[in-house]
Amino acid sequence: MSDGDSPDQPVGALLARWRKQKKISGQTLGELVGMSQAKISRLENGVSSPDPQDVRRIAEALALPPGEVDRLVAAADRPSDRFVDWHSTEPGLPERQQFLRQLEVSTREIRTFQPAVVVGLLQTSEYARALLTGYRGEQDDDDTAASPLAVSEAVAARIQRGQVLYEPGRKFSFLMTETALGNQVCGPADMLAQIGRLREVSTLSNVDVRIIPQDANLPLPPAHGFELMGDKVVFVDLFNTSLLSRDRRTVRHYQQVFDTLDSVATSEISTLLDKYQSRYVRMLPGSGA
């Protein structure tokens, strides 16, 4: 480790310092260890969680002293021993969506739970606009309030995120409560479009959409939504920011939570979608209901 390095720096940042000190490009390093330059960059910038085996391969390829190799591998294997579990992400609405997209495009398997609204990757533009406008209205502080332009940019970024559903080699598991269908966050016509979107996406072979019925016996309280990127990252959305953790024990805990909630969900969602479709049809102007 160079004199300017702190032992509390992320593993990726330390590896980047060593690489630059040895005047090796990311492309060259990737070729040495059989990784893409993009993967090296994600690891160094903290977008990807450092895998201990990858860290060892990189550190040895950089010809680091054996003691430094072991130290970096140990830090990657026990991140919670050195870092706070949860880290805040970008506060701005568009920035949060772009940050999430970065995480999602580098992940092969994504699992998401939402207790009150439709999962972000499944949202229509108008549904997303209604939600994000609501977040904007919640911000009283001029420093954190999002402008209408920021909301529009965030909506566009969220819809762009949804394109990942159609990329080959990816798997998605989406879990919601029935409450998400009943919470009318936008007009009935837009809610109908959202239900149509759920029907459409649920037919994709790589997408599993499951819903927890209202009469299910919940094994634990569905406190808040979260997104799991493989076994590396868990992401939680808040009103004024977002939090993520790369701590392995934290990620495993959320995987267990997902599995527990999923155990009372159903993949036979057509009947539930029909129920709420009928409700919103009756609410349309001129429906005669």
What the chain holds in terms of domains, given with CATH numbers, is 11-81 (1.10.260.40), 86-282 (3.30.870.10)
CA distance 161 to 173: 15
C-alpha distances in Å from residue 191, one per residue of 96, 129, 217, 285: 24, 12, 27, 14
pTM of model > 0.75: no
- Chain centroid offset of residue 140 CA: 26
Residue 198 in tokens: 């759920």
The first and second tokens of residue 97, run together, are 């969506």
Average pLDDT, the chain: 86
What are the φ and ψ backbone dihedral angles of 172, each rounded to 5 degrees?
Answer: -130, 135
Least confident of 27-31, 47-51, 257-261: 47-51
Taking CA atoms, 211 is separated from 22, 109, 114, 267, in Å, by 52, 19, 10, 7
Q: Which residues contact 178 (CB under 8 A, 6 or more apart)?
A: 211, 212, 213, 214, 272
pLDDT of residue 257: 95
Rounded to a whole number of angstroms, the distance between the first and last alpha carbons of the chain is: 72
Is the distance from CB of 59 to CB of 18 less than 8 angstroms? yes
C-alpha atoms less than 13 angstroms from C-alpha of 277 in its C-beta half-sphere: 13
The residue ranking higher by pLDDT, 246 or 34, is 34
Residue 9 scores a pLDDT above 80: no
- Give backbone dihedrals phi and psi of 241, rounded to 5 degrees, phi first: -165, -175
pLDDT at 86: 77
Share of the chain above pLDDT 70, in %: 87
Q: Quick: pLDDT tens for 53-67.
A: 899 999 999 999 999
pLDDT for residue 234: 93
Three-class secondary structure of residue 201 per DSSP: helix
CA distance 236 to 247: 14
pLDDT digit string, tens, across residues 121-146: 999 999 999 998 876 544 444 444 45
Quick one: pLDDT at residue 76?
81
Give per-residue pLDDT as tens, 225-258: 999 999 989 999 877 678 889 888 889 999 999 9
